[in-house]
Amino acid sequence: MLRNREIILGVTGGIAVYKSIFLCRELTQQGANVHVVMTKNAMEFVTPLTFQTISGNTVTHDLFELFHASQIGHVALADRAHALVVAPATANILGKVANGLADDFLSTMIMATRVPVLFAPAMNTVMWDSPAVQRNLRTLAEAGHHFVEPDEGELACGVHGRGKMASPEEIVEALETLFCPKDLTGERILVTAGPTVEPIDPVRFVSNHSSGKMGYAMARAAARRGADVVLVSGPTCLPPPRRARIVPVKTADQMCEAVLAEAAAATVVIKAAAVCDWRPAASAPEKIKKARGAGLTLALEANPDILRELGQRKRDGQLLVGFAAETTDLVTHARAKLREKNLDLIVANDVTAPGAGFHADTNAVRILGADGSEVGVPLATKDRVADRVLDCVVKIRKRSAVSSQRSA
Ligand code: CTP
Protein backbone atom coordinates (compact mmCIF):
# COMPACT_ATOMS: atom_id res chain seq x y z
CA MET A 1 0.00 0.00 0.00
CA LEU A 2 2.83 2.41 0.80
CA ARG A 3 5.30 1.23 -1.84
CA ASN A 4 6.66 4.17 -3.87
CA ARG A 5 4.47 6.66 -2.00
CA GLU A 6 5.99 10.03 -1.21
CA ILE A 7 5.21 10.68 2.44
CA ILE A 8 6.02 13.85 4.34
CA LEU A 9 6.56 13.19 8.04
CA GLY A 10 6.11 16.36 10.06
CA VAL A 11 7.73 16.10 13.48
CA THR A 12 6.85 18.58 16.20
CA GLY A 13 8.34 19.04 19.67
CA GLY A 14 7.07 16.44 22.12
CA ILE A 15 8.66 13.54 23.96
CA ALA A 16 6.85 11.13 21.60
CA VAL A 17 9.42 12.15 18.95
CA TYR A 18 11.30 8.96 19.80
CA LYS A 19 8.35 6.93 18.46
CA SER A 20 8.44 8.93 15.22
CA ILE A 21 11.92 7.53 14.59
CA PHE A 22 10.36 4.03 14.55
CA LEU A 23 7.50 5.35 12.43
CA CYS A 24 9.99 6.73 9.91
CA ARG A 25 11.76 3.36 9.78
CA GLU A 26 8.48 1.46 9.41
CA LEU A 27 7.40 3.72 6.52
CA THR A 28 10.72 3.34 4.69
CA GLN A 29 10.67 -0.43 5.25
CA GLN A 30 7.26 -0.54 3.60
CA GLY A 31 8.74 1.12 0.53
CA ALA A 32 7.65 4.73 1.09
CA ASN A 33 9.97 7.62 0.29
CA VAL A 34 9.88 9.66 3.49
CA HIS A 35 10.70 13.36 3.69
CA VAL A 36 11.00 14.58 7.26
CA VAL A 37 10.16 18.13 8.24
CA MET A 38 11.07 19.09 11.80
CA THR A 39 10.02 22.07 13.83
CA LYS A 40 12.56 23.99 15.90
CA ASN A 41 11.15 22.44 19.10
CA ALA A 42 11.37 18.91 17.69
CA MET A 43 15.10 19.47 17.23
CA GLU A 44 15.39 20.05 21.00
CA PHE A 45 14.48 16.35 21.45
CA VAL A 46 16.35 14.70 18.58
CA THR A 47 18.69 15.84 15.84
CA PRO A 48 17.80 15.93 12.12
CA LEU A 49 20.71 13.54 11.51
CA THR A 50 18.73 10.64 13.06
CA PHE A 51 15.80 11.11 10.68
CA GLN A 52 18.11 11.82 7.75
CA THR A 53 19.94 8.52 8.33
CA ILE A 54 16.72 6.50 8.58
CA SER A 55 14.80 8.17 5.75
CA GLY A 56 17.78 8.56 3.42
CA ASN A 57 16.56 12.08 2.61
CA THR A 58 17.65 15.51 3.74
CA VAL A 59 15.60 16.74 6.69
CA THR A 60 13.91 20.08 6.21
CA HIS A 61 13.44 22.55 9.01
CA ASP A 62 13.91 26.03 7.66
CA LEU A 63 11.20 28.06 5.96
CA PHE A 64 13.69 29.66 3.60
CA GLU A 65 15.38 26.51 2.36
CA LEU A 66 15.33 26.18 -1.44
CA PHE A 67 15.09 22.79 -3.17
CA HIS A 68 15.79 24.24 -6.57
CA ALA A 69 17.00 27.70 -7.29
CA SER A 70 13.55 29.01 -8.16
CA GLN A 71 11.28 26.98 -5.90
CA ILE A 72 10.43 27.66 -2.32
CA GLY A 73 10.94 24.34 -0.49
CA HIS A 74 7.55 23.93 1.11
CA VAL A 75 5.67 24.34 -2.17
CA ALA A 76 7.83 21.79 -4.00
CA LEU A 77 7.58 19.18 -1.28
CA ALA A 78 3.88 19.71 -0.57
CA ASP A 79 3.06 19.36 -4.27
CA ARG A 80 4.68 16.04 -4.97
CA ALA A 81 3.70 14.13 -1.79
CA HIS A 82 0.89 11.58 -1.50
CA ALA A 83 0.22 12.33 2.17
CA LEU A 84 1.49 14.35 5.08
CA VAL A 85 1.65 12.80 8.55
CA VAL A 86 2.25 14.94 11.61
CA ALA A 87 3.58 12.74 14.41
CA PRO A 88 3.75 13.73 17.13
CA ALA A 89 1.25 16.53 16.68
CA THR A 90 1.44 18.86 19.67
CA ALA A 91 -1.41 21.04 20.91
CA ASN A 92 0.56 23.91 19.37
CA ILE A 93 0.61 22.61 15.78
CA LEU A 94 -3.08 21.62 16.01
CA GLY A 95 -3.88 25.13 17.21
CA LYS A 96 -1.81 26.78 14.50
CA VAL A 97 -3.30 24.80 11.63
CA ALA A 98 -6.86 25.06 12.98
CA ASN A 99 -6.52 28.81 13.18
CA GLY A 100 -4.73 29.45 9.90
CA LEU A 101 -1.31 30.31 11.28
CA ALA A 102 1.76 29.56 9.18
CA ASP A 103 4.86 30.77 10.96
CA ASP A 104 7.34 27.98 10.26
CA PHE A 105 8.14 25.46 7.54
CA LEU A 106 5.75 22.73 8.72
CA SER A 107 2.69 24.89 9.39
CA THR A 108 3.27 26.72 6.11
CA MET A 109 3.54 23.46 4.20
CA ILE A 110 0.32 22.11 5.74
CA MET A 111 -1.44 25.25 4.60
CA ALA A 112 0.10 24.96 1.14
CA THR A 113 -0.79 21.32 0.47
CA ARG A 114 -3.83 19.66 -1.04
CA VAL A 115 -2.76 16.13 -0.05
CA PRO A 116 -4.43 14.32 2.89
CA VAL A 117 -3.03 15.35 6.27
CA LEU A 118 -3.02 12.84 9.14
CA PHE A 119 -2.37 14.10 12.67
CA ALA A 120 -1.16 11.78 15.46
CA PRO A 121 -1.65 13.98 18.53
CA ALA A 122 0.44 13.48 21.66
CA MET A 123 0.10 15.58 24.78
CA ASN A 124 -0.70 15.65 28.45
CA THR A 125 -4.24 14.47 29.37
CA VAL A 126 -5.36 17.84 30.70
CA MET A 127 -4.24 19.54 27.49
CA TRP A 128 -5.99 16.86 25.37
CA ASP A 129 -9.23 17.36 27.31
CA SER A 130 -8.99 21.16 27.24
CA PRO A 131 -11.79 23.02 25.43
CA ALA A 132 -9.22 24.72 23.17
CA VAL A 133 -7.67 21.48 21.89
CA GLN A 134 -11.07 19.79 21.49
CA ARG A 135 -12.36 22.82 19.57
CA ASN A 136 -9.28 22.80 17.33
CA LEU A 137 -9.72 19.08 16.64
CA ARG A 138 -13.32 19.68 15.56
CA THR A 139 -12.22 22.53 13.30
CA LEU A 140 -9.51 20.38 11.72
CA ALA A 141 -11.93 17.47 11.21
CA GLU A 142 -14.43 19.81 9.54
CA ALA A 143 -11.63 20.99 7.24
CA GLY A 144 -11.17 17.36 6.13
CA HIS A 145 -8.04 16.48 8.10
CA HIS A 146 -7.55 12.97 9.48
CA PHE A 147 -6.53 11.75 12.93
CA VAL A 148 -5.15 8.77 14.68
CA GLU A 149 -6.25 9.42 18.21
CA PRO A 150 -3.90 9.15 21.19
CA ASP A 151 -4.01 6.10 23.42
CA GLU A 152 -4.65 5.97 27.10
CA GLY A 153 -1.73 4.95 29.31
CA GLU A 154 1.21 6.09 31.38
CA LEU A 155 2.31 9.49 30.04
CA ALA A 156 5.84 10.94 30.14
CA CYS A 157 4.71 13.34 32.88
CA GLY A 158 3.92 10.34 35.13
CA VAL A 159 0.14 10.73 34.90
CA HIS A 160 -2.15 7.97 33.62
CA GLY A 161 -4.64 9.14 31.01
CA ARG A 162 -5.32 9.82 27.33
CA GLY A 163 -2.59 11.57 25.38
CA LYS A 164 -0.02 8.89 24.51
CA MET A 165 0.77 9.03 20.79
CA ALA A 166 -0.59 6.04 18.85
CA SER A 167 1.98 3.36 18.07
CA PRO A 168 3.95 3.52 14.79
CA GLU A 169 1.97 0.45 13.60
CA GLU A 170 -1.33 2.20 14.29
CA ILE A 171 -0.18 5.32 12.45
CA VAL A 172 0.92 3.23 9.44
CA GLU A 173 -2.47 1.48 9.53
CA ALA A 174 -4.27 4.86 9.54
CA LEU A 175 -2.12 6.02 6.63
CA GLU A 176 -2.85 2.88 4.62
CA THR A 177 -6.55 3.47 5.28
CA LEU A 178 -6.25 6.83 3.50
CA PHE A 179 -4.97 5.12 0.35
CA CYS A 180 -7.37 2.18 0.38
CA PRO A 181 -10.38 1.89 -1.94
CA LYS A 182 -13.53 2.03 0.21
CA ASP A 183 -15.23 -0.80 -1.66
CA LEU A 184 -16.74 -2.36 1.48
CA THR A 185 -18.53 0.76 2.67
CA GLY A 186 -22.01 -0.15 3.87
CA GLU A 187 -21.03 -3.75 4.72
CA ARG A 188 -21.24 -4.91 8.31
CA ILE A 189 -18.57 -7.56 8.61
CA LEU A 190 -18.32 -10.03 11.47
CA VAL A 191 -14.88 -11.62 11.78
CA THR A 192 -13.88 -14.34 14.23
CA ALA A 193 -10.26 -14.92 15.17
CA GLY A 194 -7.94 -16.83 17.45
CA PRO A 195 -8.31 -20.12 19.21
CA THR A 196 -10.91 -21.09 21.77
CA VAL A 197 -9.74 -22.47 25.10
CA GLU A 198 -11.68 -25.20 26.86
CA PRO A 199 -11.01 -25.49 30.60
CA ILE A 200 -9.99 -28.76 32.24
CA ASP A 201 -9.79 -27.08 35.66
CA PRO A 202 -9.02 -23.50 36.81
CA VAL A 203 -5.37 -23.75 35.65
CA ARG A 204 -5.37 -26.08 32.63
CA PHE A 205 -7.10 -26.06 29.29
CA VAL A 206 -7.40 -27.75 25.89
CA SER A 207 -6.76 -25.45 22.90
CA ASN A 208 -4.93 -25.25 19.54
CA HIS A 209 -2.04 -23.36 17.94
CA SER A 210 -4.04 -20.46 16.46
CA SER A 211 -2.37 -17.06 16.99
CA GLY A 212 -5.30 -15.02 15.66
CA LYS A 213 -3.03 -13.25 13.14
CA MET A 214 -5.09 -14.17 10.06
CA GLY A 215 -8.41 -13.12 11.64
CA TYR A 216 -6.97 -9.84 12.92
CA ALA A 217 -5.56 -9.14 9.46
CA MET A 218 -9.05 -9.81 8.02
CA ALA A 219 -10.62 -7.38 10.52
CA ARG A 220 -8.03 -4.66 9.81
CA ALA A 221 -8.34 -5.03 6.04
CA ALA A 222 -12.15 -4.93 6.13
CA ALA A 223 -12.09 -1.77 8.29
CA ARG A 224 -9.52 -0.14 5.97
CA ARG A 225 -11.86 -0.78 3.06
CA GLY A 226 -14.73 1.02 4.76
CA ALA A 227 -16.66 -1.83 6.44
CA ASP A 228 -18.17 -1.61 9.87
CA VAL A 229 -16.29 -4.45 11.63
CA VAL A 230 -17.04 -6.56 14.69
CA LEU A 231 -14.26 -8.91 15.78
CA VAL A 232 -15.20 -11.84 18.00
CA SER A 233 -11.85 -12.99 19.30
CA GLY A 234 -10.60 -15.89 21.34
CA PRO A 235 -7.56 -15.22 23.56
CA THR A 236 -4.58 -13.83 21.58
CA CYS A 237 -1.52 -11.69 22.30
CA LEU A 238 -2.32 -9.27 19.46
CA PRO A 239 -3.10 -5.56 19.78
CA PRO A 240 -6.81 -5.01 19.09
CA PRO A 241 -7.49 -3.34 15.73
CA ARG A 242 -8.53 0.25 16.44
CA ARG A 243 -11.31 0.46 13.95
CA ALA A 244 -13.14 -2.73 14.94
CA ARG A 245 -15.47 -3.40 17.84
CA ILE A 246 -13.99 -6.29 19.82
CA VAL A 247 -16.03 -8.96 21.56
CA PRO A 248 -13.60 -11.08 23.63
CA VAL A 249 -14.52 -14.73 24.27
CA LYS A 250 -12.73 -17.77 25.62
CA THR A 251 -14.65 -20.98 24.95
CA ALA A 252 -16.39 -22.28 21.83
CA ASP A 253 -19.71 -21.95 23.62
CA GLN A 254 -19.05 -18.27 24.34
CA MET A 255 -17.92 -17.74 20.75
CA CYS A 256 -21.07 -19.44 19.50
CA GLU A 257 -23.31 -17.23 21.61
CA ALA A 258 -21.49 -14.02 20.58
CA VAL A 259 -21.35 -14.95 16.89
CA LEU A 260 -25.02 -15.93 16.64
CA ALA A 261 -26.01 -12.64 18.33
CA GLU A 262 -23.74 -10.50 16.10
CA ALA A 263 -24.50 -12.42 12.89
CA ALA A 264 -28.09 -11.21 12.94
CA ALA A 265 -26.94 -7.77 11.76
CA ALA A 266 -23.92 -8.87 9.69
CA THR A 267 -23.92 -8.72 5.89
CA VAL A 268 -20.72 -10.78 5.72
CA VAL A 269 -19.36 -13.31 8.25
CA ILE A 270 -15.71 -14.36 8.02
CA LYS A 271 -14.91 -17.29 10.33
CA ALA A 272 -11.14 -17.33 10.64
CA ALA A 273 -11.21 -18.62 14.24
CA ALA A 274 -9.84 -22.05 15.04
CA VAL A 275 -12.69 -23.30 17.17
CA CYS A 276 -11.94 -26.33 19.37
CA ASP A 277 -14.06 -29.17 18.12
CA TRP A 278 -14.17 -30.77 21.58
CA ARG A 279 -14.14 -29.67 25.20
CA PRO A 280 -13.61 -31.61 28.42
CA ALA A 281 -16.96 -33.18 29.30
CA ALA A 282 -16.56 -31.84 32.84
CA SER A 283 -14.46 -28.89 33.96
CA ALA A 284 -13.24 -29.42 37.53
CA PRO A 285 -14.03 -26.49 39.86
CA GLU A 286 -10.71 -26.96 41.71
CA LYS A 287 -7.23 -27.77 40.41
CA ILE A 288 -6.98 -31.52 39.75
CA LYS A 289 -4.22 -32.88 41.98
CA LYS A 290 -1.90 -35.42 40.42
CA ALA A 291 -1.34 -38.84 41.93
CA ARG A 292 2.40 -39.54 41.57
CA GLY A 293 3.15 -41.25 38.25
CA ALA A 294 -0.53 -41.73 37.35
CA GLY A 295 -1.92 -40.60 33.99
CA LEU A 296 -5.19 -38.78 33.39
CA THR A 297 -7.87 -39.71 30.89
CA LEU A 298 -10.02 -36.81 29.78
CA ALA A 299 -13.48 -37.41 28.37
CA LEU A 300 -14.20 -34.86 25.61
CA GLU A 301 -17.57 -33.85 24.23
CA ALA A 302 -18.36 -32.07 20.98
CA ASN A 303 -18.54 -28.27 20.77
CA PRO A 304 -21.13 -26.64 18.53
CA ASP A 305 -20.09 -26.19 14.88
CA ILE A 306 -20.74 -22.44 14.75
CA LEU A 307 -20.24 -22.06 11.01
CA ARG A 308 -22.55 -24.97 10.20
CA GLU A 309 -25.20 -23.28 12.37
CA LEU A 310 -24.66 -19.97 10.54
CA GLY A 311 -24.97 -21.78 7.21
CA GLN A 312 -28.36 -23.15 8.25
CA ARG A 313 -29.57 -19.69 9.34
CA LYS A 314 -28.05 -17.77 6.38
CA ARG A 315 -30.19 -14.81 5.30
CA ASP A 316 -30.71 -13.68 1.72
CA GLY A 317 -27.72 -11.58 0.66
CA GLN A 318 -25.60 -12.57 3.66
CA LEU A 319 -22.18 -13.94 2.65
CA LEU A 320 -20.47 -16.66 4.65
CA VAL A 321 -16.72 -17.13 4.40
CA GLY A 322 -15.07 -20.09 6.14
CA PHE A 323 -11.47 -21.13 6.60
CA ALA A 324 -10.32 -24.72 6.22
CA ALA A 325 -7.18 -25.68 8.14
CA GLU A 326 -5.95 -28.86 6.49
CA THR A 327 -2.90 -31.07 6.55
CA THR A 328 -3.84 -33.37 3.62
CA ASP A 329 -6.04 -33.21 0.48
CA LEU A 330 -6.45 -29.45 0.85
CA VAL A 331 -8.92 -28.71 -1.92
CA THR A 332 -11.04 -31.87 -1.49
CA HIS A 333 -11.56 -31.30 2.24
CA ALA A 334 -12.13 -27.57 1.80
CA ARG A 335 -14.72 -28.09 -0.97
CA ALA A 336 -16.59 -30.57 1.25
CA LYS A 337 -16.73 -27.97 4.08
CA LEU A 338 -17.83 -25.26 1.61
CA ARG A 339 -20.75 -27.43 0.50
CA GLU A 340 -21.74 -28.96 3.84
CA LYS A 341 -21.67 -25.65 5.75
CA ASN A 342 -23.52 -23.73 2.99
CA LEU A 343 -20.69 -21.20 2.47
CA ASP A 344 -20.08 -18.72 -0.32
CA LEU A 345 -16.30 -18.87 -0.04
CA ILE A 346 -13.77 -20.97 1.78
CA VAL A 347 -10.13 -20.12 2.31
CA ALA A 348 -8.21 -23.38 2.10
CA ASN A 349 -5.06 -23.30 4.18
CA ASP A 350 -2.44 -26.06 4.27
CA VAL A 351 -1.14 -25.37 7.76
CA THR A 352 1.90 -27.61 7.23
CA ALA A 353 3.21 -25.60 4.24
CA PRO A 354 6.36 -23.50 4.96
CA GLY A 355 5.42 -19.95 5.99
CA ALA A 356 1.71 -20.78 6.15
CA GLY A 357 1.40 -22.13 9.68
CA PHE A 358 -0.40 -20.79 12.72
CA HIS A 359 2.13 -18.31 14.10
CA ALA A 360 3.59 -17.09 10.81
CA ASP A 361 3.06 -13.53 9.57
CA THR A 362 2.58 -14.98 6.09
CA ASN A 363 0.15 -17.39 4.51
CA ALA A 364 -0.49 -19.15 1.21
CA VAL A 365 -4.09 -20.13 0.44
CA ARG A 366 -6.58 -21.18 -2.20
CA ILE A 367 -9.88 -19.30 -2.14
CA LEU A 368 -12.69 -21.55 -3.33
CA GLY A 369 -16.10 -20.23 -4.34
CA ALA A 370 -19.51 -21.94 -4.20
CA ASP A 371 -19.69 -21.18 -7.96
CA GLY A 372 -16.69 -23.48 -8.56
CA SER A 373 -14.18 -20.64 -8.80
CA GLU A 374 -10.67 -21.03 -7.41
CA VAL A 375 -8.12 -18.28 -6.72
CA GLY A 376 -4.59 -19.17 -5.66
CA VAL A 377 -2.77 -16.75 -3.36
CA PRO A 378 0.95 -17.57 -3.19
CA LEU A 379 2.94 -16.91 -0.02
CA ALA A 380 2.29 -13.32 1.08
CA THR A 381 1.76 -11.37 4.30
CA LYS A 382 -1.48 -12.18 6.10
CA ASP A 383 -2.57 -8.57 5.43
CA ARG A 384 -2.18 -9.14 1.71
CA VAL A 385 -3.95 -12.51 1.86
CA ALA A 386 -6.81 -10.81 3.75
CA ASP A 387 -7.15 -8.28 0.94
CA ARG A 388 -7.32 -11.04 -1.69
CA VAL A 389 -10.13 -12.74 0.30
CA LEU A 390 -11.99 -9.42 0.48
CA ASP A 391 -11.47 -8.93 -3.28
CA CYS A 392 -13.46 -12.17 -3.74
CA VAL A 393 -16.22 -10.85 -1.44
CA VAL A 394 -16.41 -7.62 -3.46
CA LYS A 395 -16.52 -9.64 -6.69
CA ILE A 396 -19.54 -11.65 -5.47
CA ARG A 397 -21.28 -8.42 -4.44
CA LYS A 398 -20.65 -6.84 -7.85
CA ARG A 399 -21.88 -9.93 -9.65
CA SER A 400 -25.12 -10.07 -7.67
CA ALA A 401 -25.65 -6.31 -8.18
CA VAL A 402 -25.35 -6.83 -11.96
CA SER A 403 -27.71 -9.82 -11.98
CA SER A 404 -30.33 -8.02 -9.89
CA GLN A 405 -30.09 -5.03 -12.27
CA ARG A 406 -30.65 -7.40 -15.21
CA SER A 407 -33.67 -9.04 -13.63
CA ALA A 408 -35.21 -5.64 -12.66
N1 CTP B 1 -15.73 -23.92 12.73
C2 CTP B 1 -16.73 -23.51 13.55
N3 CTP B 1 -17.06 -24.25 14.66
C4 CTP B 1 -16.41 -25.39 14.94
C5 CTP B 1 -15.36 -25.82 14.09
C6 CTP B 1 -15.04 -25.08 13.00
O7 CTP B 1 -17.34 -22.47 13.29
N8 CTP B 1 -16.73 -26.08 16.00
C9 CTP B 1 -15.41 -23.14 11.52
C10 CTP B 1 -14.01 -22.55 11.51
O11 CTP B 1 -14.02 -21.24 12.07
C12 CTP B 1 -13.67 -22.54 10.04
C13 CTP B 1 -14.45 -23.71 9.47
O14 CTP B 1 -15.47 -24.01 10.41
O15 CTP B 1 -14.12 -21.39 9.38
C16 CTP B 1 -13.62 -24.95 9.23
O17 CTP B 1 -12.90 -25.27 10.40
P18 CTP B 1 -11.83 -26.45 10.41
O19 CTP B 1 -11.22 -26.52 11.77
O20 CTP B 1 -10.95 -26.35 9.22
O21 CTP B 1 -12.70 -27.75 10.13
P22 CTP B 1 -13.83 -28.48 10.92
O23 CTP B 1 -15.15 -28.04 10.37
O24 CTP B 1 -13.64 -28.34 12.40
O25 CTP B 1 -13.57 -29.98 10.45
P26 CTP B 1 -12.29 -30.93 10.72
O27 CTP B 1 -11.78 -30.57 12.11
O28 CTP B 1 -12.84 -32.29 10.65
O29 CTP B 1 -11.29 -30.65 9.62
Q: Residues with Cβ within 6 A of ligand 1?
A: 252, 271, 273, 275, 277, 303, 305-307, 322-325, 337
Amino acid sitting at position 314: K
Q: What is the CA radius of gyration of the chain?
A: 25
Domain coordinates in residue numbering, the chain: 6-179, 188-286+296-403
| Residue 349 CB neighbours (<10 A) | 23
Atom 21 of ligand 1, nearest CA residue: 324
How many angstroms is it from 42 CA to the middle of ligand 1?
A: 52
Q: What is the model's pLDDT at position 80?
A: 86
- Topology, domain 188-286+296-403: Rossmann fold (3.40.50)
Q: What is the model's pLDDT at position 331?
A: 96
Which whole number is the average pLDDT over 251-260? Answer: 98
Atom 3 of ligand 1, nearest CA residue: 305
> Count of H helices and E strands in the chain?
14, 21
Q: What is the model's pLDDT at position 72?
A: 63
CA distances from 213 to 108, 220, 247, 389 (A): 41, 10, 16, 15
Burial 272-294 (b: 16+ CB within 10 A, else e): bbbbbeebbeeeeeeeeeeeeee
Which whole number is the average pLDDT over 12-36? Answer: 96
**In contact, 163 and 127? CB cutoff 8 Å:** yes
Q: Is the pLDDT confidence value at 178 over 60?
A: yes
Q: Label residue 153 by pLDDT band (50, 70, 90).
A: confident
How many angstroms is it from 54 CA to the middle of ligand 1?
A: 45
Atom 4 of ligand 1, nearest CA residue: 305
How many angstroms is it from 341 CA to the middle of ligand 1?
A: 10
Counting residues of the chain whose pLDDT is more than 90, the rounded percentage is: 86
Equal CATH topology for 6-179 and 188-286+296-403: yes
Q: How far apart are CA 381 and CA 360, in angstroms?
A: 9
Whether 157 sits among the annotated catalytic residues: the reply is yes
Strands (E) across 131-203 are located at 146-147, 151-154, 160-164, 188-193, 198-201
| Residue 255 CB neighbours (<10 A) | 26
Which whole number is the average pLDDT over 388-404? Answer: 92
Q: Label residue 171 by pLDDT band (50, 70, 90).
A: very high
Closest to 337 in 3D by CA, of 352, 353, 349: 349
The CATH code belonging to domain 6-179 is 3.40.50.1950
**In contact, 249 and 255? CB cutoff 8 Å:** yes
Report the predicted TM-score, pTM, of the whole model to 2 decimal places. 0.90
